[in-house]
């Protein structure tokens, strides 16, 4: 016999089964629509001409350096220049006590006068003996003695003149003058100091710093690679009279004037593995001082087979290799390993790993992976814009600061 509670239990069970049956017979929901391919922005890579340069460390050195030293002994009576001031060639710098040298000159001149008087007397006697010997009035020996005395007197005159010249030179050395035009340094002696010519006492130094040299160190490996690039035709070298050098100062600012390459060393220093490269810079405002650390950018030539890629289009993998994402003809993404070691005009300079006409992803890189299907839209071709600027400008624009990678940078 069923109780009311049992009736309610079976009624609820029947309702649940009915609901489950209806749910199983209900139509399925439509599947979610497939997501559309991500949209990316690409640029088409084209070969272009890019100036190639090397960035080298170095230090400045004076164009001319002259150490002013004492050439005679004596007491310094006066200093005639201001330390650190510009001096002209032959300008008086110091005065050494000239009194003893003036006295020596007077003595040498007196000795010369005496020798000249003796020469006149012996010459007259020799002339008289020459006449007398013709009439056998004197012996041949007496005539020979007169001629010998004349010759000895002439030699004494020559020695006296040499002594006068030496005394005159020493007297002039008491007035110390600047050997070159330039900027003076600290005086090493003061008024009243005793200096010695035999010890060549250093008095001061004069340096000409306009123009000024910049001595740079180039690794032999970089020079070898440069010669290989020129031999292979990848790089067209700059002419000897066209090599320009741009300078970066210690604080990172750019020196406003351009220098020229003067000398490229041919001997490798075995201790450093580098050669010396010397450039010459105008320095009218004395911004550059000897001994300053600088970085110079030297034009090496033009690479006619390079590609310029925007900075966002190049990444680096875990091995430090430069990579980029390329959209193929089927609109699928492929990753390429490229050779990109320096920048120019805020773009990467790619020397290998790309083909002309490749489409490089520059926007939307974060949302795609190799093998994915994408929708590509063309962005502005920065390489052609840069080529236009190069053609319009009289000189190439200064490259931007280097990004991670070797220190080789693009040319100005």
pLDDT in tens, 170-216: 999 999 999 999 999 999 999 999 999 999 999 999 999 999 999 98
Residues pairing with 281 in the sheet: 212
Determine the pLDDT at residue 406: 33
Say which range, 205-219, 292-306, 308-322, 351-365, has the weakest mean pLDDT: 292-306
With cut-offs at 50, 70 and 90, classify the pLDDT of residue 71: very high
**Is the distance from CB of 259 to CB of 281 less than 8 angstroms?**
yes
Say which range, 142-146, 204-208, 225-229, 395-399, has the weakest mean pLDDT: 395-399
Q: Backbone phi, then psi, for 96, in 5-degree steps?
A: -95, 145
> Do the domains 98-173 and 73-96+177-200 match in fold?
no
Spans of all domains in the chain: 47-62+209-392, 73-96+177-200, 98-173
Q: Which of 98, 37, 105, 104 is closest to 332 using CA atoms? A: 37
Query: Is 388 exposed, middle or buried (CB count within 10 Å of its CB: 0-12, 13-18, 19+)?
Result: exposed
Q: Where does 47-62+209-392 sit in CATH, by number?
A: 2.40.30.170
Angstrom distances, CA of residue 90 to CA of 93, 175, 212: 9, 10, 22
**Average pLDDT of the residues of the chain:** 82
387 prior amide bond cis, ω within 30: no
Determine the pLDDT at residue 298: 80
Determine the pLDDT at residue 396: 43
pTM of the model: 0.63
Query: Is 74 exposed, middle or buried (CB count within 10 Å of its CB: 0-12, 13-18, 19+)?
Result: buried
Determine the pLDDT at residue 31: 43
Question: To which H or E segment does residue 132 belong?
Answer: helix 99-134
Determine the pLDDT at residue 29: 46
Average pLDDT over residues 38-49: 89
Q: Where does 73-96+177-200 sit in CATH, by number?
A: 2.40.50.100
Yes or no: domain 98-173 corresponds to CATH 1.10.287.470: yes
With cut-offs at 50, 70 and 90, classify the pLDDT of residue 153: very high
């Amino acid at each position: 016999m069923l109780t009311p509670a049992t009736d309610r239990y079976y009624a609820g069970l029947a309702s649940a089964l009915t609901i489950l049956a209806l749910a199983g017979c209900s139509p399925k929901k439509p599947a979610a629509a497939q997501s559309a391919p991500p949209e990316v922005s690409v640029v088409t890579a084209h070969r272009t001409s890019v100036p190639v340069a090397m960035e080298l460390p170095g230090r400045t050195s004076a164009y001319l350096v002259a150490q002013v030293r004492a050439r005679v002994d004596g007491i310094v009576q006066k200093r005639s220049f201001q330390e650190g001031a510009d001096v002209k060639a032959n300008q008086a710098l110091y005065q050494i006590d000239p009194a003893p040298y003036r006295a020596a000159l007077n003595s040498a001149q007196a000795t010369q006068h005496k020798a000249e008087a003796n020469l006149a007397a012996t010459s007259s006697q020799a002339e008289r003996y020459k006449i007398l010997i013709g009439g056998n009035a004197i012996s041949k020996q007496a005539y020979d003695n007169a001629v010998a005395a004349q010759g000895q007197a002439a030699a004494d005159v020559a020695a006296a003149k040499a002594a006068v010249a030496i005394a005159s030179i020493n007297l002039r050395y008491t007035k110390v003058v600047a050997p070159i035009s330039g900027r003076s340094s600290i005086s090493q002696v003061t008024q009243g100091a005793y200096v010695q010519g035999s010890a060549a006492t250093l008095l001061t130094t004069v340096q000409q710093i306009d123009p000024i040299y910049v001595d740079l160190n180039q690794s032999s490996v970089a020079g070898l690679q440069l010669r290989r690039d020129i031999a292979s035709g990848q790089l067209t070298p700059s002419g000897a009279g066209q090599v320009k050098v741009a300078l970066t100062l210690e604080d990172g600012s750019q020196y406003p004037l351009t220098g020229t390459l003067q000398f490229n060393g041919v001997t490798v220093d075995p201790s450093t593995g580098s050669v010396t490269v010397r450039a010459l810079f105008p320095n009218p405002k004395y911004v550059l001082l000897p001994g300053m650390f600088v970085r110079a950018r030297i034009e090496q030539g033009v690479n006619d087979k390079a590609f310029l890629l925007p900075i966002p289009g190049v990444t680096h993998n875990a091995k430090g290799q430069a990579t980029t994402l390329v959209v193929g003809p089927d609109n699928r993404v492929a990753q390429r390993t490229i050779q990109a070691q320096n920048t120019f005009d805020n773009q990467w300079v790619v020397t290998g790993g790309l083909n002309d006409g490749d489409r490089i992803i520059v926007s939307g890189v974060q949302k795609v992976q190799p093998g994915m299907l994408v929708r590509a839209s063309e962005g502005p071709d920065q390489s052609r814009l840069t080529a236009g600027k190069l053609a319009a400008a009289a000189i190439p624009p200064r490259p931007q600061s280097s990004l991670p990678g070797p220190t080789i940078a693009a040319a100005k």
